[in-house]
A and B are shown apart, each in its own frame.
Chain A
């Protein structure tokens, strides 16, 4: 991985909602073909930051370049090369998944085979179902499928695994790693630290609109250990999640 090649660069980004400053001058870079994690407590400003990069919200100040395009001048060019999964989004009512896929292929101006897209997230059996009739996990998977329609250079996933069962979560990790291995850069937010540790090449910790740490998970952990930190409780060789996975199997489940 060529670590010097930044595909996203954020400089001194500030976002104010009226008199409340949600993002307070953060700067970071996302490298090409990495999985970059934005971590932090509720209300830290992760979604705000992502949606400004996605050109969905206006920034108050700062500079953002995505693959050479500025969000101020070339929003439409940026939209063509990114895939976006929103933390909260809806899909056109009364349409089934195949029809929704057709709609998005028109909106992105690309030709795709809806079934192939659905197969990528293992939703081919739900092709004729309405979005409303999907379970939470299936909805997340469908959202991710819609981000892949335009074969984007970068995809943004805002809490894609929230609400998923352990298998679905792991299968989604495999999918995300697959997407990255196909040359796509991934920016992801999550509240699961195990997930960030497994998945992300680098993570940024955001708190109250500021980045308080940014490094690889390994380095961050090592730094903590070097500072003399020790877990209070001895870790066993397995945890409850391992038990869950072991008991229920690792495959996609029909009802997840």
Chain B
């Protein structure tokens, strides 16, 4: 009794209890780890090879000719042989095959070969790639023995960093994992602690409200950071996720994660305050998380969205977290370089917590 009451001790005791509880709650683990990891695995494997054009060789086509030989050397082109005409037809219709080529020896003298290419409207973009590949190839083959009369084109590519699908997908998944843990986790925990009278029992002890909020916050941030480290490590070691400055990059990402998570937890406090029953928490949370999941550049760059959607995307906090994460991880930006993104997240945070203070309920 003579000792003054220790708020830090109370906060840490709560953080420890909450952390244990989260680790034992299947839904928290699924949302934070399993979902992002599944997406990362799927995109990680999908994205390994980059763009491929599936080019089938028509039955009866000549195979021993310079055109097919050259095509086989081109990494973008994936040659498919031994398909019968029916398979080719459906393949083209569905877009599983991007084009069919038929090369025949010319009965007349020149040119030596005739190549017929059939494209499909089911795969126009890949057809276009193939078209330019073929043009290039034909030009090279046809002009092999001829000196150019006007100019010779020499092409070369600067060897840059390889930007893999994982470099885009992983930060997006990480951001979404933080968003769902922040919103769902916080909303559920405070709602149910209130509903099951756990908070009431807490209030019979000298613990302060601030300790309860901070204790829960520390536990959730701790848990989410463990998840983030796990996701980053899996991405890095299994799918070559780019971490330009290694551990420094990871630390910067974790700092960004904390900022994002604090903002997202604010949404969680709001939801726990306005939800009337446990079953209204998921729909209300989804109203907050789904638009961000879809519009914040989790799967596609927001530049790919129609122009009327882009302003909405650029208003969402997750957009800025994703953006900052990608800049830090792939471009090696420091936190100061993404101050603009951080500032917008902080503005969101101030707004959200202003609402949270108004609607949050203790009992």
* Contact (Cβ within 8 A) A91 B5: no
- Pair count A-B, CB < 8 A: 86
Q: Does B13 contact A (CB under 8 A)?
A: yes
CA distance A94 to B17 in the complex (A): 9
- Give chain B's interface secondary structure class: helix
CA distance A231 to B12 in the complex (A): 59
Instruction: Give the residue of B1, B17, B206 whose beta carbon is less than 8 angstroms from that of A95.
Output: B17
Q: Does A16 contact B (CB under 8 A)?
A: no
Residue in chain B with minimal CB distance to A150? B205
CA distance A113 to B17 in the complex (A): 16
Instruction: Give the residue of B5, B13, B21 whose beta carbon is less than 8 angstroms from that of A80.
Output: B5
Instruction: Give the residue of B3, B13, B204 whose beta carbon is less than 8 angstroms from that of A103.
Output: B13
* Contact (Cβ within 8 A) B205 A107: yes
* Contact (Cβ within 8 A) B20 A99: yes
CA distance A86 to B204 in the complex (A): 9
Write out, one digit per residue, whether chain A residues 77-105 have a CB within 8 A of any chain B CB (1) or not (0): 00111101010111111110001101111
Which residues from chain B contact A82 at a C-beta distance below 8 Å? 204
Task: Give the Cβ gap from A54 to chain B, nearest Cβ, in Å.
Answer: 6
* Contact (Cβ within 8 A) A106 B13: yes
Most chain A beta-carbon contacts within 10 A, residue among B198, B202, B203: B203
Residue in chain A with minimal CB distance to B11? A106
* Contact (Cβ within 8 A) B13 A76: no
Which residues from chain A contact B201 at a C-beta distance below 8 Å? 84, 86, 89-91, 146
* Contact (Cβ within 8 A) B200 A106: no
Residue in chain B with minimal CB distance to A83? B204
* Contact (Cβ within 8 A) B204 A109: no
Instruction: Give the residue of B9, B13, B25, B197 whose beta carbon is less than 8 angstroms from that of A86.
Output: B197
Which residues from chain B contact A150 at a C-beta distance below 8 Å? 205
CA distance A109 to B7 in the complex (A): 8
Place the interface of chain A in its size category: 20 to 34
Most chain B beta-carbon contacts within 10 A, residue among A99, A102, A107, A150: A107
Which residues from chain A contact B205 at a C-beta distance below 8 Å? 79, 104, 107-108, 150
CA distance A240 to B192 in the complex (A): 42
Task: Give the Cβ gap from B67 to chain A, nearest Cβ, in Å.
Answer: 66
Residue in chain A with minimal CB distance to B3? A109
* Contact (Cβ within 8 A) A89 B200: yes
Place the interface of chain B in its size category: 20 to 34
If A86-B197, A103-B13 are given as contacts, then 6 extra A-B residue pairs at C-beta distance below 8 Å, sorted by A number, are A80-B5, A90-B197, A95-B20, A102-B13, A106-B10, A109-B9
The 10 tightest CB contacts between A and B, nearest first, are A106-B13, A90-B196, A84-B204, A94-B21, A107-B205, A103-B17, A94-B24, A89-B201, A90-B198, A79-B206
Given contacts A80-B1, A91-B201, A103-B13, contact A108 B206 (CB under 8 A): yes
Question: What are 5 A-B pairs with beta-carbon distances under 8 A?
Answer: A86-B197, A92-B198, A107-B10, A107-B13, A107-B205
Write out, one digit per residue, whether chain B residues 1-43 have a CB within 8 A of any chain A CB (1) or not (0): 1010110011011101110110011000000000000000000
Write out, one digit per residue, whether chain B residues 274-303 have a CB within 8 A of any chain A CB (1) or not (0): 000000000000000000000000000000
Which residues from chain B contact A86 at a C-beta distance below 8 Å? 197, 200-201, 204
* Contact (Cβ within 8 A) A93 B204: no
Task: Give the Cβ gap from B362 to chain A, nearest Cβ, in Å.
Answer: 11
Which residues from chain A contact B101 at a C-beta distance below 8 Å? none
CA distance A58 to B197 in the complex (A): 17
* Contact (Cβ within 8 A) B21 A92: yes
* Contact (Cβ within 8 A) A56 B204: yes
Q: Does B207 contact A (CB under 8 A)?
A: yes
CA distance A91 to B146 in the complex (A): 87
Instruction: Give the residue of B192, B200, B204 whose beta carbon is less than 8 angstroms from that of A79.
Output: B204
Most chain A beta-carbon contacts within 10 A, residue among B18, B25, B192, B201: B201
Which residues from chain B contact A102 at a C-beta distance below 8 Å? 13, 16-17
Given contacts A56-B204, A86-B197, A88-B197, contact A94 B25 (CB under 8 A): yes
- Chain B 175-214 interface residues, beta-carbon cutoff 8 Å to A: 192-193, 196-198, 200-207
* Contact (Cβ within 8 A) A76 B10: no
